Structures are given as C-alpha cells and as structure tokens.
Structure 1
Amino acid sequence: MSLKMRCAVLLALLSSPTVMAQTFTFTAIPDEDETQLRTRFEKVAQYLEQQLGIEVKYIPVKSYSAAVTAFRNNQVQLAWFGGLSGVQARRLVPDSQAIAQGYEDQFFKSYFIAHSSTEIVPSDNFPNINGYTFTFGAKNSTSGRLMPQFFIERNLGKNTKEVFKRIGYSGDHSRTIAQVQAGVYQVGAVNYKVWESALANGKVDLNKVNVIWESPAYPDYQWTIRGDVNANFGKGFSEKVTQALLGMTDTDLLSSFPRQSFVPADNSDYEPIEDVAKAIGLID
C-alpha cells in the first residue's frame, strides 16, 4: 500500500464515529459548597456513563448564570437547573426540554430563617421582617431569591428594597445559613433541602438561627436537556438519558441530592416559575 493510500485510510479511521467517540457533558447550578457538588456529580457522571455506554463528564461552574451560558453555548448538553435557571436556559435554546425532576421538586419550599437576636417567633403567618437586614441566596436562585422575593412582596405589599435595611446575596444556600447564623444578616431565605441536610450534619446551631416561616409549595429543580442531542448523539439518545435519570435507584446517589427518586418533568411544569419571574421583573 502506498504512503498516500495509507494516509487516506488513517484519515478515514480517525473521522469514523466509532473512533472519534463523543463525550456527553453536563453541569449543575452551584447551590451548595463546591466540594459537595463535585463529589455528588462525579458519581452521577459514572452512573450515566454506565447507562449510556459513552464517556460522560461533569463540568463545574462558578455561578447560576454560568450554568445557563454553558448550556446555551453547547459546552454542556444536560444540566441540573433550578426552576428559574431552567426557564432561562430553555428560553435561550430552542427545543430544549425538562425531562426529569426530583419527586420533592414537584412541591418544593423555601424556609425563612432568622438570627436568635431578632427574637422573631416561628409562625404559620408571614413574619414581620420590616427593617431587618436580609440575605437572599444567588441572584438567579428559585428557592433562595425568586420565590422568597415574590412571597415578601405579596405579603408585605411593597418592594423588597423598601422592606429591608440592607439586602445581600450570599451566592448559595450553605452560605446563607452561615451568614445568618453568624449574624452577618438578621434574616435570610434558604432552600429547605439544604437547611435540612445542614441540620442533620450538625452544621446548624439552633441556639443562633432557626426557621421562622415555611413557604407554600412550588415547582423547582429539574434536569434539562438540549433539543439537538439526538442529532449529535444518535436517534433516541434523549430518551435514553431520560430513562437513565428516572431509573436512578441507588440510595447513596439519590441521598446526595437529596431526593427519594426522580420523576418525569415537562416544560409546562415550570410555567408558574416563568410567570412569577415576569411578574417581579427578573425576565421579560
């Protein structure tokens, strides 16, 4: 075989899909400590790799907006989004779909927490938090910003800027708990799952911080996949990913979220989140 022919064969082999195997990538909003996220999602990557039969890689990001940008730019094809970030991502990427959510995400909640020095008593009624310092989580967090802002403004009848002495954005739920517990802010809003995990792990001092109000339920986290994955990874690939997520039964893996299981999701499930985001001016 001539050198020219050998080069042609080599090029053909290198361009073959069996040789040039694609890597399926995913990310997640950074709602907790980065070390915990990496441990959790590298396990998910291993699980998906086994189920899908191709290389799967978890790509960490530094912010909620970075997760949306990575999804928009096709740096990742799948993402574990919150309600709001999922809405934002699907608006930017045509035909993308919410495919699975945690069982608990069908009726998610926010907790309002307060430092003991406020002497705010826990109640089923919305608390009088006028004049305190307050921290949300990340600016694009559903449970740490969007829904808490909605509940504050609906119950108190005025803009959050008129309610509080000072407003902060901690960046994630773990930091919200730490900041309120330390008295950096007097009151804050937090994802109830992160609070319960922190409490179970001994990271909450109930003598310093406690839950003062529990919100009504709303839809939140979900797995969203790009609409072009079947074209790029093969016919039926989106359904294979969906079934892999819905079939996740390993209790250790599920507890790291923490969720009891994953159930089907649809874009229409998050219309209430989109409506609230429009109502308070976070999206057009």
Structure 2
Amino acid sequence: MIKRPLAALAGLCLSVATLFSTAALAQTTELRVSAIPDEAPTELMRKFEPLGKYLEEQIGIPVTFQPVSDYAGVVEALGAKRLDMAWLGGFTYVQAKLRTGDAIPLVQREQDEVFTSTFITADPDVKTHQDLEGKSFAFGSVSSTSGHLMPRYFLQQDGIDPDTFFSRVGFSGAHDATVAWVESGKVDAGVLNSSVWEKLIEQDKVDTDKVHVYAVTPTYYDYNWTVRGGLEPELVEKIKAAFLALDPANPEHKAILDLQRASRFVPTSAENYQGIEEAARAAGLLE
C-alpha cells in the first residue's frame, strides 16, 4: 500500500527532472543571425560585425552571422528554426509571418517608418515613367520590398503595368547590382532602395554625371529585425532592449548606427506591415 504511492512519486519526480533537463537543453546558447541579401555579401558582413559584437556583450551569448543566397532562404531558415533572428524587408517579413505564423518583428530604424524607393536612369531624355514606355527596366530581387514590391505597386497605382509597359523587365538580385545594370546600359532604367542609393553616392560608387534620379515613391514601412517564434521571451526582451539602448550620442554606438544607416532604433509591430501585405496582394505577389 505504501510502496505504490512512493513508486508513483518517484516516477513523477523523474518526469519533472526530465522536463527540466529538456528545458535546459532547449535554452538558446548561440544567437544565429542573418539578413536578406540585398547587397553584396562582403558589405552585409561589414555592416553586421560591430553590431554582432555589441549584441554579444548585451545578451551574454555568442552571436553568429549566417549568410544566405537569396531572400527565400532567410524566410525558410526562420521557419525551420535554423535562424533565430534576421534583418528583413517589409515584404520578406510578411512572407515570414505567413510562412511561420509566429515570426515577431522587434525593432526598426527610425527611417523605416518613412522609407522610399528611387527610380534611376542613364538616359538624359527620361524625366518621368511615361518616357520609358517600350524600354527595358530592372527591379532588384523578386522578394524585395523597396526594390520590387512597392515600386511595382506605385507604378500600378499610376496606371502602369510593368510587364506590358516596358519592353523587358529584369531582376538584378540586389540594389547595388541594379545601379550597375543601369550605369552599364544593360537596362534603360531601374529602381532601388533610397538608402542604398544615397550610400553609393556618398561612397562615390556611382557616376552621377551619367545616372540620374527621375522619380521617388511615396513613403511606406520597410525593414525590421525579426525573431523566430519560440525564442525564449527573456532573450527576446534582452535583444530588443539592446537595440533600443543604442545611443547616437555614444561614439561607439554611433559607429554601429551609422553602418546600419540608422539615426536610432524604435519598437515596431506586425500592424505596421499590414499595408505592405495589402500592397503585395494588390500587386499579385501574394494570393
């Protein structure tokens, strides 16, 4: 009569111990981070290294950057929990949310609340979209918010169907590649992330005597840092707090912010990207 309750109690204790042991094993011991490949891999790594070191100091575990070959790869890796956090465009975040059901947008740059895309050409006769009828045009990646989705959406709002209006539509794969295509004459015009355009000008990596801006889109929400579902809430809060603590008045922090082309980071939420999802559906990029 006594042995049975003791045996049951021992079994319960063993189950609890196993549960705690499993939970301990499930704790994140390394933060695996990536980013959509909207620029050259070397540039992405250059931008991330100081931020990664800072995050390690703030959250107390190693932070590693894992490059991916395409936008879809980031979404898939988050869904399969091979990544813990990723720098996503607005459209890629929407795709991740729909793919995983639990991806969480944490923070965005202050600039991402009023983001734009820049239309460029090397043809001096091009002043408006209408001047490009029957000419060739380049977007960035198919899944790019600023290099494809929103420019396509705004073109459609202006009554232009890119697939029939232009003689040929190409996808360069990255913003800096779009500039190279336009500058070399591979296409007559293209569109890219306004922030990257400004950076290329600052770094003297584009000949502005040859390539000029002929239009800029209205503003929209874009990039954010997103974490996968299932990441421990305490760790998520540490990561968020680390981003929000970056202070431009601190020289070390300012160096990190400058590489991210951020004045500062601010909290964000899924609601901010509802407009992106609606635009994607209107543009026929989501069913």
| Correspondent of 2:217 among 207, 215, 218 | 215
Q: Equivalent residue for 1:165?
A: 167
From 165, 189, 192, give the equivalent of 2:191: 189
| Structure whose residues are more often helix by fraction | 2
After superposition, give the CA deviation of every residue in 1:109-155 in whole Å (9 maximum; x if it has no partner): 0000011x35113x6xx553211100000110000000111111211
Query: How has the CA–CA distance of structure 1 residues 193 and 21 changed in structure 2, closer, same or farther, with 3 Å as cutoff?
Result: closer
TM superposition shift of 1:49: 0.7
Which residue number corresponds to residue 226 of structure 1?
A: 228
Give the CA deviation at 1:84.
0.2
Percent identity over paired residues: 35
1:77-131 deviations in Å (ceiling 9; x for gaps): 111000000110111222221110010000000000011x35113x6xx553211
TM-score using structure 1 length = 0.87
Match of 1:130 among 133, 143, 150: 133
* Structure 1 unaligned spans of 5+: 1-11
Separation in structure 2 between the aligned mates of residue 30 and residue 56 of structure 1, nearest angstrom:
19
Corresponding pairs, count:
262
- The separation in 2 between residues aligned to 1:90 and 1:104, in whole angstroms, is 22
Runs of 4 or more, structure 1, over 2 Å off, are 14-18, 126-129
* In 2, Cα distance between equivalents of 1:148 and 1:196: 17
Partner of residue 239, structure 2: 241
- Secondary structure of residue in 2 paired with 1:181: helix
**Which of the numbers 267, 272, 276 marks the counterpart of 1:273?**
276
Aligned amino acid, residue 176 of structure 1? T
Shift of 1:158: 4.1
Assess if the C-alpha contact under 8 Å between 2:117 and 2:193 holds in 1. yes
Q: Counterparts of 1:67 and 1:154 in 2: how far apart (Å)?
A: 30
Q: Which residue of 1 aligns with 2:7?
A: none
Contact 1:112 1:187 in 2 (8 A): yes
What is the distance in 2 between the residues matched to 1:21 and 1:104? Answer: 31
- Cα distance in structure 2, aligned partners of 1:172 and 1:111: 14
Q: Choose which of 45, 52, 74 in structure 2 pairs with 1:45.
A: 52
Larger radius of gyration: 2
Q: Which of 36, 51, 58 in structure 1 is aligned with 2:65?
A: 58
- State which of 138, 141, 150 in structure 2 corresponds to 1:147: 150
In 2, Cα distance between equivalents of 1:274 and 1:48: 30
Cα distance in 2 for residues equivalent to 1:95 and 1:72: 9
CA distance in 2: counterparts of 1:89 and 1:220, whole angstroms? 14
- Which amino acid is the alignment partner of residue 183 of structure 2? Q
1 CA distance for matches of 2:221 and 2:107?
12
